[in-house]
Amino acid sequence: QVDPAFWRELRAFTHARRPDCWLVGEIIHGDYRAWANPAMFDSVTNYECYKGLWSSLVDGNYYEIAYALNRQFGEGGLYVDLPLYAFADNHDVDRVASKLTQPEHLFPLYVLLFTMPGVPSIYYGSEWGIPGAKTNGSDHPLRPHLDLGDMIDNGPHPDLVGTIAQLARIRRNSTALRFGSYQQVHIAHEQLAFVRQGGDETILVVLNAAADPVALEVELPVEGRELVDLLNPGDRFPVHHRRAKLDPVWSNWARVLRVE
């Protein structure tokens, strides 16, 4: 293990020359605050939520990732206001398309990645949902050479890249999604809903990983007249006494709703 004093010196050196330099550390276990703090790294990898992102879908158990998110970012959470590096796969682990048992789960997975607290990242090629799993201990299948033109024409999930681009735009334009608090308002095996609040903005995120559409009624922590869907433009839902009925939430899809 590298002496922490080295990282403190590196942080001081780099930020003195480039205040916008962003130092990220790959940390698997332990208390992330020991590494991500004003004296060392700006962020570290969130391996705890990495596992729950895909296994909660494989097992039909959103309670798993909900527990991790609430533990980290809910009221009194360990890492509130700490911008952890969020990811679904990387150069050391099987690609998430090879972890999931239902390819359509890629869509609610990436909605969650871009709306949960933290800094979302995409491992090259996974925006097209390419598979890749370690073989006989070799990481080579995780790190293929890709031709951009071939991916555009023949990527296994051509709709996914556009969805990820849409999610990135939504997040970039939302103070609540980039910096806001996290509060769960509904948890079931195949549905999860939470609220992000930041500045003057409140966003309600609703995920449905079931094979069929569902109708959900949720209670909001703030007053509002209407929910405007940023992910499904044109869809709006009225709010009455802080309650809203969302019907439908489509199969393996989501709603990202701004409270107005």
Q: Locate 125 and state its tokens.
A: 């090629």
| Closest of 191, 209, 203, 200 to residue 230, by C-alpha | 203
What's at 182, amino acid-wise?
A: Y
Q: What is the pLDDT of residue 1?
A: 81
Dig out the tokens for 213 from the structure. Answer: 């559409």
Which residues are 237's β-sheet partners? 227
CB 231 within 8 A of CB 174: no
Q: Residue 55's pLDDT is what?
A: 98
pLDDT at 202: 99
Q: What angle do CA 244, 248, 253 make, to 5 degrees?
A: 110
Cis peptide before 38 (omega within 30 of 0): no
Q: 167 vs 14, 81, 141, 174, CA distance in Å?
A: 31, 21, 28, 11
Find the helix packing angle between 106-115 and 47-58, rounded to 10°.
150
Q: Write out the DSSP string of 30-99.
A: S-GGGTBSTTSBSEEB-HHHHHHHHHHHHTT-HHHHHHHHHHHHSTT-TTTT---EE-S--TTS--HHHH
| pTM of model > 0.95 | yes
Cα 219 to Cα 116, 193, 197, distances in angstroms: 19, 10, 15
Pull the structure tokens for residue 96: 């998430």
Query: Looking at residue 242, what is its pLDDT?
Result: 97
HSE (side-chain half, CA atoms, 13 Å) at 249 = 26
Domains of the chain: 4-176 (3.20.20.80), 177-259 (2.60.40.1180)
Cβ(120)–Cβ(114) under 8 Å?
yes
Q: pLDDT at position 77, please?
A: 98
pLDDT in tens, the chain (260 residues): 899 999 999 999 999 999 999 999 999 999 999 999 999 999 999 999 999 999 999 999 999 999 999 999 999 999 999 999 999 999 999 999 999 999 999 999 999 999 999 999 999 999 999 999 999 989 999 999 999 999 999 999 999 999 999 999 999 999 999 999 999 999 999 999 999 999 999 999 999 999 999 999 999 999 999 999 999 999 999 999 999 999 999 999 999 999 99
Specify the pLDDT at position 137. Answer: 86
pLDDT value at residue 131: 98
